[in-house]
Amino acid sequence: MSKREFQTEVSQLLQLIIHSLYSHPEIFLRELISNSSDALDKLRHLTLVDDAYKSLPFDPRISLELDEENKTLTISDTGIGMSEEDLVSHLGTIARSGTKNFLSQLSGDARKDSNLIGQFGVGFYSAFMVADKVEVVSRKAGEEQAWRWISDGKTGFDIEPAERAVAGTTILLHFNEEGAQYANSWRLQEIVKKYSNHIAFPIFLTYDKSEWNEAEKKSIKTRTTEQVNVASALWRRPKSELTDEDYKELYKSITGDWEDPLFWFHTRAEGSLEYTTLFYIPAKAPMDLYHAEYKVGVKLYVKRVFIMDDAKELLPQYLRFVRGIIDSEDLPLNVSREILQQNRVLTSIRTASVKKILSELKSIATNQPELYLKFISEYNRPLKEGLYGDYANRETLLDLVRFKSTKVEGLTSLADVKSRMKPEQKSIYYITGGAESLLRTSPLLEIYKKKDLEVLILDDDFDEIVFSGIEKYGEIDLKAVSKSSTSEDLKDVNEPDQAEALKPLLDKLKATLGDRVKDVRASVRLADSPSCIVSDEEEPSIKMQQMMRAMGQKDIPALKPTLEINPDHEIVKKLLARSDDSVAEDAAWLLFDQALLMEGVPLQDPASFVHRLNRILNLSI
């Protein structure tokens, strides 16, 4: 017998699992059964596609054997099994780097944490919540030798040669005090039905059944084996036969989520391609939504045979929050990831699935607005990613995303913005480049307030990247208020001849600010503020340039802003009347610096700003 130690992370993880999840230890059974089901899927797949395995027997079953007296339970399967090496690496280390995130994400809230266990796949170790000793006997398909792995879940594990009649894995749990409640056949049946009813393989329970014996006038215990689950691929049944409860149960069993999904879309396509899709939208966005290594939520089946659950090709990345199943009749069983990438069948299924999901979302937005708001509060951001990446569905996505606005509380749609447009209004306006509070008080909005024009507040950090590439909503132009060209909607505010009168001042400002500005000109967008800065139509805004630099892009040319001044403002009028002197020079810089500050751009030289401010203060006090 050889003694091995757990990888440090495993010991850590075991401690956390055992101590933080006590309120729902029953999930140990879901985890172990799903491992058995995975192992059966893997073996079935191999016997279908790999010549070396074709002759192996495949008699899929998962068996639970309960010994109430000794408080033990075995969970065995006729799946792929594990070699000695597999036992060491799969049950002694944490291979997937994503799993390490698990450790940092545990919240102490048992409900959430047990949900995480399923998401991050540290399921096997949950056995130690209910057992103080776990023995695994496994024989890998195609091999003769079996191995026994034993551990108390504390320091490490032992491994020794063992015997097993056929390939597969048997897990023997010696229940601890906490686990003793599961040494009960009723309880076990209830848990299997709750979590594992739709596992594609039959699950049998062997236990001592008490039955009344009329002849002896007492109940007698007989060793009995019964199938516990329904073992059907529920998604292949017609919608009319399925209840909401069926759908919710399936959702919970494939995702490990505790909460009901928000809604689901079940589609059966017949014709040139035959496939079934069942997509669910989780009530809460998955924890790893914004991780590079997010876990794929859609499982691929071919003719009811599980193929893979980690294919990022199944749906576009922005729909990575969707959970569910794609089951195709037309894909080959031995489809590999490489083939998937340019497979015509999958491309068609994917295109149709995206269209389906988006159009269903649109109809929910129209018919069940409250439900849709719940959806949007979790998934607005990924939809915006779609605006950036999914050109073909941009029109639909524009109707699905929601916006903050100067005109409404909460969120609004572009369709609603359109319906509120003034009869003569030409464009829809938005402001980007900072936190909501900064945007709402920006001088750039003054003229829109004055003219009672609605402006969308786009305060997500990537809104500028997304929306600078979108020029129109239907026939209507979408315009950023920070861009130098102004729309027809703003013209005629200030009389044109003012520009002539202002020219000497503009020239003076330009001479003073030198190469810090591209141009200085009279503004038509200001009402209360004396100045603001704007960028050219094709150029990224100052804020955006900062972001690009912060993200490590070094070769960003230093683009200069244009300073606009408000001809109607008292300060500007006084400045116009004033001859060249140091006050005028200080004022020029202060007009520029305050415009930068209002945009949330840090000053290059705060000391000079403060000196100037103090000189002016000194004069006025």
Q: Which does 63 bind (CB under 5 to 8 A by kind): Mg ion, ligand ADP, none?
A: none
Task: Tell me how far apart the alpha carbons of residues 34 and 196 are, in angstroms, rounded to a whole number.
Answer: 8
Query: Binding marks (x or -) toward ligand ADP, 38..77, rule CB under 6 A?
Result: xx-------------------------------------x
d(CA 30, CA 75): 11
78 part of the interface to Mg ion, by CB under 5 A: no
Residue of 77, 90, 93 lying closest to 42 (CA atoms): 77
What is the smallest separation between the CB atom of 202 and ligand ADP, expressed in angstroms? 16
**Least distance (Å) from ligand ADP to the CB of residue 42?**
8
Q: Which of Mg ion, ligand ADP, none does residue 79 bind (CB under 5 to 8 Å by kind)? A: ligand ADP
- By CB under 5 A, residue 35 contacts Mg ion: yes
Residue pair 32/194 in contact by the 8 Å Cβ criterion: no
When the beta carbons of 35 and 393 are compared against ligand ADP, the nearer one is 35
Residue whose structure tokens are 């330009």: 510
Nearer to Mg ion by Cβ, of 29 and 233: the residue is 29
What's the alpha-carbon Rg for the chain, to the nearest Å? 33
Shortest Å distance, C-beta 124 to Mg ion = 6
Question: 114 vs 169, which CB is nearer to ligand ADP?
Answer: 169
Q: In whole angstroms, how close is the CB of 304 to ligand ADP at the nearest point?
A: 21
User: Rounded CA gap, 331 and 314, in Å?
Assistant: 13
Rounded to whole angstroms, the Cα distance separating 167 from 57 reads 9
* Residue 274 C-beta: closest distance to ligand ADP, Å: 30
Q: Is residue 135 near ligand ADP by the rule CB under 6 A? A: no
228 binds ligand ADP (CB under 6 A): no
Three-state SS sequence of 406-468: CCCCCCECHHHHHHCCCCCCCEEEEEECCCHHHHHCCHHHHHHHHCCCCEEEECCCCHHHHHH
Instruction: Please choose, from the candidates 425, 423, 365, the residue with its C-alpha nearest in 3D space to the C-alpha of residue 398.
Output: 365
Q: Does 462 engage in binding with ligand ADP (CB under 6 A)?
A: no
Q: Cα separation of 296 and 162, whole Å?
A: 37
- Supply 381's token pair: 């951001």
By beta-carbon proximity to ligand ADP, the closer residue of 31 and 446 is 31
How far is it, in rounded angstroms, from Cα 134 to Cα 471? 62
Kindly state the smallest distance separating residue 77's Cβ from ligand ADP, in Å: 5
HSE (side-chain half, CA atoms, 13 Å) at 212: 2
Task: Report if residue 82 touches ligand ADP, rule: CB under 6 A.
Answer: yes
Alpha-carbon separation of residue 260 from 116, 232, 388 (angstroms): 16, 21, 30
Q: List binders of Mg ion among 258-297 (CB under 5 A).
A: none
User: Which of 243, 205, 232 is CA-nearest to residue 65?
Assistant: 205
Residue 78: C-alpha distances to residues 56, 170, 171, 318, 469 (Å): 11, 9, 12, 38, 55
Residue of 25, 79, 179, 567 interacting with ligand ADP (CB under 6 A): 79
Verify binding: residue 253, Mg ion, rule CB under 5 A.
Answer: no
Does residue number 445 form part of the binding site for ligand ADP (CB under 6 A)? no
Give CA–CA dist 595/243, Å, rounded.
60
Smallest gap from Cβ 10 to Mg ion, in A, equals 15
Q: Does 80 bind ligand ADP (CB under 6 A)?
A: yes
Least separation in angstroms between CB 199 and ligand ADP: 13
Helices (H), 152-297: 185-196, 244-255
Cβ atoms < 10 Å from Cβ of 212: 9
CB closer to ligand ADP out of 171 and 302: 171
**Minimum distance from CB of 283 to ligand ADP (Å)?**
23
Is residue 468 a contact point for Mg ion (CB under 5 A)?
Answer: no
CB 56 within 8 A of CB 47: yes
> Residue with CB nearest Mg ion?
123
Q: Which of 121, 256, 261, 443 binds ligand ADP (CB under 6 A)?
A: 121
Q: What is d(CA 381, CA 386) in angstroms, rounded to the nearest whole number?
A: 9
For ligand ADP, which residue of 90, 194, 356, 560 counts as binding (CB under 6 A)? Answer: 90
Q: What are phi and psi of 486, to 5 degrees?
A: -110, 155
Cβ atoms of residues 120 and 100 within 8 Å: no
For residues 35 and 432, which CB has a smaller minimum distance to ligand ADP in the complex? Answer: 35
Near Mg ion in 107-126, by CB under 5 A: 123
| Closer residue to Mg ion, CB minimum distance, 35 or 169 | 35
Q: Which of the choices Mg ion, ligand ADP, none does residue 324 contact, using the CB cut-off of 5 to 8 A by kind? A: none
Is 169 a binder of ligand ADP (CB under 6 A)?
yes
**Residue 196 sits in the site that holds Mg ion (CB under 5 A):** no
Q: Is 31 an interacting residue with respect to ligand ADP (CB under 6 A)?
A: yes
> Which range of residues in 118-126, 260-268, 287-295, 313-321 is near ligand ADP by CB under 6 A?
118-126
Residues of this chain that bind Mg ion (CB under 5 A):
35, 123
Residues of this chain that bind ligand ADP (CB under 6 A):
31, 35-36, 38-39, 77, 79-82, 90-91, 121-124, 169
